[in-house]
Amino acid sequence: MNKIAFGFALALASLTAQAQTWEPVPDLASKPLRFVVGAGVTFGGEKLVTVAYEDGDQVDIDGGGSIAFLAGLDYRVNPQFSVQGTIGYHVDNASGENGDVRFQRVPLELLGYYHVNDKVRVGGGLRYVTGTELRSSGAADFGDYKFKDSTSPVAEIEYLYSPRIGFKLRYVNDKFKEKTTSGSVKGDHVGALVNFYF
């Protein structure tokens, strides 16, 4: 956890030092409410299962992996602050011709940001995760497992390459409890995403 916090602080210092000012696009300056879509990769969480292929390759399905998509709204409250609300799809998957293993969830996030300058904003908020399932089929079938809805904190830093494109680094402290047993899964992870604003 300390290494992650140090990494965020180092990234913030680096981006702040390199940031240059840019003129906002006129239609964005007069339009504080924008649509946002994004995608990226995530790493972390505990290993749930290892999928072995016939050629000897193996793929781990992790509680914090591996691909995330989002869509929602971003609102610039004033020059210093903005808020963002999104719905997403987060999945780690291993597929083959004769089977599939998938750990999937649907996160809803509400985040607030402080704008350090025109290029960098830092923030955080809450993530409510629903529809969390570990599913398997075909030759990889070992049963399906459903998890309770959960809420967890999010911390982010975003570098705005332009008014329409942002690069995010984030940390999320997800944890999931299985519905029918007392078992739980650590889903904490770091992520790198690209957002597009319209």
Q: What is the pLDDT of residues 43-84, one digit of tens each?
A: 999 999 998 887 778 999 999 999 999 999 999 999 999 999
**pTM of the predicted protein model:** 0.83
Q: How far is CA 134 from CA 62, 97, 106, 174, in A?
A: 10, 19, 13, 15
Q: Is 179 helix (H, G, I), strand (E, B) or coil?
A: coil
Predicted local distance difference test score (pLDDT) of residue 34:
97
- The answer on pLDDT for 21 being more than 70 is no
Answer yes or no: is pLDDT of 15 > 80.
no
Per-residue pLDDT, 35? 98
Please give the single-letter amino acid code of residue 71.
A
Q: Which helix (H) or strand (E) holds 2?
A: helix 2-18
Q: In terms of residue numbers, what domain contains 53?
A: 2-197
Mean pLDDT of the 84-91 span = 98
Backbone conformation region of residue 42, classed left if phi is above 0, alpha if psi is from -120 to 50, else beta:
beta
Q: How far apart are CA 155 and CA 87, in angstroms?
A: 17
d(CA 130, CA 117): 34
Q: How many domains does the structure of the chain reveal?
A: 1
Q: Is the pLDDT of residue 175 over 60?
A: yes
Q: Is the pLDDT of residue 8 over 50?
A: no
* Residue 130 C-beta-side C-alpha neighbours within 13 Å: 4
Q: What integer is the mean pLDDT of 171-186?
A: 93
CATH number, domain with residue 176: 2.40.160.20
Place of tokens 């770091």: 190
Least confident stretch, 17-31, 90-104, 135-149, 155-169: 17-31
Average pLDDT on 92-114 reads 94
For residue 21, give the amino acid letter: T
- Is the model's pLDDT at 23 over the cut of 80? no
